[in-house]
């Protein structure tokens, strides 16, 4: 039996970004995540409006790349997902690699599928707190299993 109060350090949130969905990498990227031990708790194929992308990345509003980021993230479909694994946030950041694919380690998702620091194939939450906020941005309780 699962405990009623789930340990949220065991979940993270991801998006496969429009560059990667557009290049047909969705299946290969999901396969990497699953093979690394992440279980899918919620998942959807969708497309963000500019307003939604702006709200999701509001934390970066003052950064010089914010406008470009919002344009890019609303430019095509994404896959949003909540993933579960022990130590999910840290282990997932390791799996995706550095923000800039040129600096990402061999074997990471960004090294193998990302083109640039902006169009970097995947998102991964940076903390347990943000994993919860980001998961709630996309999914209701009825969409999680």
In the numeric block, the tokens 């949130």 are attached to 13
CB 145 to ligand UDP: min, Å = 26
Task: Clarify whether 123 is annotated catalytic.
Answer: yes
Three-class SS state of 94: helix
Our finding on whether 112 is near Mg ion (CB under 5 A) is: no
Shortest Cβ 33–ligand UDP spacing (Å)? 15
Query: Of 17, 32, 41, 123, which one is the catalytic site residue?
Result: 123
Find out whether 69 and 118 touch, Cβ atoms under 8 Å: yes
Footprint of ligand UDP on 66-85 (CB under 6 A): 68-69
Backbone angles phi, psi at 32, to 5 degrees: -60, -45
Residue 26 interacting with ligand UDP (CB under 6 A): no
Bridge partners of 84?
11, 39
User: Strand order of the sheet with strand 122-124?
Assistant: 39-46, 78-84, 11-16, 122-124
CB of 75 to Mg ion, least distance (A): 19
Residue reference for tokens 């083109």? 115
Q: What's the rounded Cα separation, in Å, for the pair 27 and 35?
A: 12
Residue 128 touches which of Mg ion, ligand UDP, none (Cβ within 5-8 Å per kind): none
Among residues 26, 52, 75, 99, which is the contact residue for ligand UDP, using CB under 6 A?
A: 99
Q: Which residues bind ligand UDP (CB under 6 A)?
A: 60, 65, 68-69, 99, 117-118, 120, 123, 126
Catalytic site positions: 123
């Amino acid at each position: 039996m699962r405990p009623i109060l789930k340990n949220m350090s065991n979940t993270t949130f991801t998006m496969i970004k429009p560059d990667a969905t557009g290049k047909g990498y969705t299946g290969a990227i999901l396969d990497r995540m699953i093979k690394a031990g992440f279980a899918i708790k919620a998942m959807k194929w969708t497309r963000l409006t500019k307003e939604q992308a702006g709200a999701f990345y509001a934390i970066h509003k003052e950064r010089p790349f914010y406008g470009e980021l919002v344009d890019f993230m609303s430019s095509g479909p994404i896959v949003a997902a909540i993933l579960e694994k022990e130590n999910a946030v840290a282990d997932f950041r390791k799996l995706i690699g550095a923000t800039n694919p040129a600096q990402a380690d061999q074997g990471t998702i960004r090294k193998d599928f990302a083109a640039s620091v902006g169009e970097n194939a995947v998102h991964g939450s940076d903390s347990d707190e943000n994993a919860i906020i980001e998961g709630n941005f996309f999914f209701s309780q009825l969409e999680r299993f």
